Amino acid sequence: MIPPLADRLHELGIVPVIVLERASDAIPVVEALRAGGLPVAEITFRSDAAEEALRRIAGEAPDILLGAGTVVRPEQADAAVAAGARFVVTPGFNPRVVDHCLGRSIPVVPGIATPGELEAALERGIGLVKLFPAGPLGGVGWLRAVAGPYPTARFMPSGGVRAEHLADYLAQPNVAACGGTWLVTTAAVAVGDVDGIERLAREAVAIRRAVRPAAERPGA
């Protein structure tokens, strides 16, 4: 049985957020991430190559937990799922996009930046949200502040999150995983630096393992 999305993301700890200008780069990138211990990718709709990149990954690397990010319109959510994405991530809380996904049983991780937006997600039965942009909003301090009034909410902080912040974020009980662009930069993709991508993935996994021992599971 495949664990619920929040639990599977908790096990992985890190979600590489990836912009691909060429769909042909998709497989080498996710293979490097997998080799580094991260069989997960969020392909963002920030380029025209996103849909084809999702399709290639879903077809050639089906073990990758594949998400589509920067989804800001309902039709993008539909296109992402049709291409093989298993979940959708939005940068902000757009009720039209969120309700569209819920109505079609598409797992969605909406972006939120305020307690009000968090309550709108919880009201809809969404327990996992993306805190964005996490760094400018206050990062770990923000997450600690909302833990009391919203004890059931779980977060995927993204935006301003880098390797040096990872341990502090993952130590927070209400954090499922961290989204990060530092693992797969556009510069690394442009020159085909798959060794560098694999190295950064291994380093991130080592941090996760140090903070969250292998025996740890959500709710344990």
Mean pLDDT by 10 residues, the chain (220 residues): 79 98 98 98 97 98 98 98 98 98 98 98 98 98 98 97 97 97 97 98 97 58
Residue 17 counted as domain residue: yes
CATH number, domain with residue 146: 3.20.20.70
Dmax (CA) of the chain: 46
Residue 217 counted as domain residue: no
Residue 162 amino acid letter: R
Residue 43's domain comprises: 5-211
* Per-residue pLDDT, 213: 83
Six token digits for residue 24: 């042909």
Give ∠ CA 60-67-210 in degrees, rounded to 5: 100
* Per-residue pLDDT, 212: 93
- When divided into structural domains, the chain yields a total of 1
Catalytic residues, which ones? 42, 130
Q: Cβ-count burial of 101 within 10 angstroms (0-12 exposed, 13-18 middle, 19+ buried)?
A: buried
Residue 42 counted as domain residue: yes
* Per-residue pLDDT, 218: 44
Reply yes or no: is the peptide bond before residue 62 cis, omega within 30 of 0.
no
* Per-residue pLDDT, 3: 60
Residue 163 counted as domain residue: yes
Q: Cα–Cα distances in Å, from 160 out to 35, 97, 139, 193?
A: 25, 24, 9, 22
- Reduced 3-state DSSP string for the chain: CCCCHHHHHHHHCEEEEECCCCHHHHHHHHHHHHHCCCCEEEEECCCCCHHHHHHHHHHHCCCCEEEEECCCCHHHHHHHHHHCCCEEECCCCCHHHHHHHHHCCCCEECEECCHHHHHHHHHCCCCEEEECCHHHHCCHHHHHHHHCCCCCCEECCCCCCCHHHHHHHHCCCCECCEEECCCCCHHHHHHCCHHHHHHHHHHHHHHHHHHCCCCCCCCC
Q: Cα–Cα distances in Å, from 4 out to 33, 67, 215, 218?
A: 22, 14, 18, 11
Q: Cα–Cα distances in Å, from 211 out to 11, 57, 208?
A: 12, 30, 5
Six token digits for residue 40: 């997960």
Residue 111 counted as domain residue: yes
Residue 216 counted as domain residue: no
Residue 29 counted as domain residue: yes
Q: Cα–Cα distances in Å, from 26 out to 15, 17, 101, 115, 136?
A: 15, 12, 25, 36, 30
Residue 94 counted as domain residue: yes
Q: What are phi and psi of 183, to 5 degrees?
A: -75, -35
